[in-house]
Every structure is written in C-alpha cells, then in structure tokens.
C-alpha cells in the first residue's frame, strides 16, 4: 500500500466574521505544528487573503469552499480559480452536499468546477455521499460511484493526483450522526475499488479519501484507524479551536 499522507480539512462554511476568522486561523496554525498529517482550512471568500497571511510559514493549507467554472468576465458574484490562486489558496472544495442541495449544483457543473480547479494547478477536494434513504435502501455504493464517474469525467490519471475525495454521507453532515467506522470503511473501500477500475491500482492506492460527517475529537481516532480512511473533512468542530486542535492531532 502507498504511504498516503492524511489530510484533515476544516470547512468553516458561512461562519465567522474577520476577527474571529483570524483568531481561529492562528489557533489552527499553532495546533498543527506537530500534527501527524496535512492540515487545511476552507474559509469564507472575504477572509482568504487575511487568513493566508496568518498561515504564512505554517503547514496549514488555505482552501476555498467553491469556485466558478468560468475563467473571468460577466459573472456577478462569482469567484474564479485564478482569484483564489492569487490570494494563496491551495485547495478548493467541489460538490459539497450543501452546494448540491441548496444551490442546485448538478454533477455536470461539479465536473466543470473540478476540472477548472485542476487546470489552475490547485488541489480539489471533491465531495460525494448518499442521502439517508439511499443508505437505507442499500444503494450507497451505486450513488457514490455515479457521483465519482460524473465528477471525474475527463479527469486524467495524472490530474487525479491533485484530487482528494471526501466521502460525506449527507445524513451525517451537521446532524451529530457519524457513520460508524465500519460503514465509513466499507464505503471508502468501495470508492478505492471504483478508482481502481476507472483508473488503475496505483492511482487507487495513492488516492487520499477523507471521511466527513459530524467528526469530533471523540470519533476521529477510531475513524482514522480504518485502513481506507485517510483524513477528515470537518464542519462544525472546525469552528471550535480546541476541538479542531484535537482532530488534527488524531491518534491512529
């Protein structure tokens, strides 16, 4: 098995105002000094540049929560990957379930955004995951495979090296319900198997697959001990400095 470097990423969503963002970013920077894996925080657009200055010289990567599928021009309110890169971003989230459900983003749009992130030379955290009823009717692997096929359409094996997959069961996001380590491990293994079939065994082996869905200091160690879980995408707990500090310093 490839030695995959774990990635713990925080997703602040539409939370914090500037002074809070700076304080939280400084706390993440301090907490990450001895962290066993990579760390990133996906912060609101207006705070990217100031947070980038706080994170300078640290191991914490800066991430955005969305981007435009277009390069530039008359797209009022949109933010391009070039803009993100110019303020120090290294990561961009695509396909988050809130973008899918609240903003109506289709798999086709998510694919365009994913390819835009990759062509800008940024790392893309592509989120996939099933609804509660899909888990209950046993179609999780099918749903996730379809999201992967659509989201990664025309993404080359070389480009896949800049992709992280975040498996986030929708029923576990922000609900306090975490998938059991067995449920998460099974789906992560299914994702890796899909990548093996669509790309190669080597690509599957290299792929970092995060789990997301109400990860807390209490659940992170058990999740990270699973062989196919290589990190976490953390919403609520990433807004609480002490909790996120413990999560980035997981013990697997």
Minimum CB–partner distance for residue 178 and ligand PEP (Å)? 8
Q: How far is CA 26 from the centre of its chain?
A: 21
In whole angstroms, how close is the CB of 200 to ligand PEP at the nearest point? 28
Instruction: Tell me if 234 contacts ligand PEP by CB under 6 A.
Output: yes
Compute CA 123 distance to the chain's CA centroid, rounded to the nearest angstrom.
10
- The site string for ligand PEP over 205-224 (x = CB under 6 A, - otherwise) reads -------xxxx---------
Q: Exactly one of 24, 90, 173, 224 binds ligand PEP (CB under 6 A); which one?
A: 173
**C-alpha–C-alpha distance, residues 249 and 66, integer Å:** 26
**Phi, psi at residue 130, to the nearest 5°?**
-95, 160
Instruction: Identify which of residues 121 and 174 has a Cβ nearer to ligand PEP in the complex.
Output: 174
Which runs of E-coded beta strand occur in the chain? 7-11, 38-42, 60-64, 91-94, 123-128, 163-167, 208-212, 231-234
Catalytic residue positions?
96, 168
Q: Contact region for ligand PEP (CB under 6 A) — 16-24, 154-162, 186-194, 229-237?
A: 229-237
Which listed residue (174, 197, 201, 202) binds ligand PEP by CB under 6 A?
174
DSSP category for residue 47: G
Q: Choose among 230, 248, 223, 225: nearest CA to 238.
A: 248
Contact 93, 66 (CB under 8 A): yes
Which string of x and - marks every residue 3-22 that binds ligand PEP (by CB under 6 A)? --------x-----------
Span near ligand PEP by CB under 6 A; candidates 32-40, 118-126, 197-205, 230-238: 230-238
Kindly report the backbone phi and psi dihedral angles of residue 230, in degrees, each rounded to the nearest multiple of 5, phi listed first.
Answer: -115, 15
Instruction: Tell me the number of residues near ligand PEP by CB under 6 A.
Output: 13
CA–CA distances in Å: residue 33 to residues 4, 28, 38, 201: 19, 9, 10, 33
Nearer Cβ to ligand PEP, position 69 or 168?
A: 168
Least gap, CB of 173 to ligand PEP (angstroms): 4
Residues engaged in binding ligand PEP (CB under 6 A): 11, 168, 173-174, 212-215, 233-237
């Amino acid at each position: 098995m490839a030695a995959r470097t774990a990635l713990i990423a925080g997703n602040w969503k539409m939370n914090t105002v500037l002074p809070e963002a700076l304080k939280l970013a400084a706390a993440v920077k301090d907490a990450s000094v001895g962290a066993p894996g990579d760390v990133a925080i996906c912060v609101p657009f207006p705070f990217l540049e100031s947070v980038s200055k706080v994170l300078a010289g640290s191991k914490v990567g800066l991430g955005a929560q969305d981007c435009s599928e277009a390069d530039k021009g008359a797209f009022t309110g949109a933010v391009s990957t070039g803009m993100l890169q110019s303020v120090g971003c290294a990561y961009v989230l695509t396909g988050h379930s809130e973008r899918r459900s609240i903003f109506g983003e289709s798999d086709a749009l998510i694919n365009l955004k994913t390819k835009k992130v990759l062509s800008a030379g940024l790392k893309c955290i592509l989120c996939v995951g099933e609804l509660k009823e899909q888990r209950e009717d046993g179609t999780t692997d099918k749903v996730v495979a379809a999201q992967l096929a659509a989201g990664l359409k025309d993404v080359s094996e070389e480009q896949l090296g800049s992709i992280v997959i975040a498996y986030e069961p929708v029923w576990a996001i922000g609900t306090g319900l975490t998938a059991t380590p067995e449920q998460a491990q099974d789906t992560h293994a299914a994702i890796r198997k899909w990548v093996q079939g669509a790309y190669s065994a080597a690509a599957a082996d290299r792929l970092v697959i995060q789990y997301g869905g109400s990860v807390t200091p209490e659940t992170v160690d058990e999740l990270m001990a699973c062989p196919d879980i290589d990190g976490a995408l953390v919403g609520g707990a990433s807004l609480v400095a002490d909790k996120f500090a413990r999560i980035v310093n997981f013990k697997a």
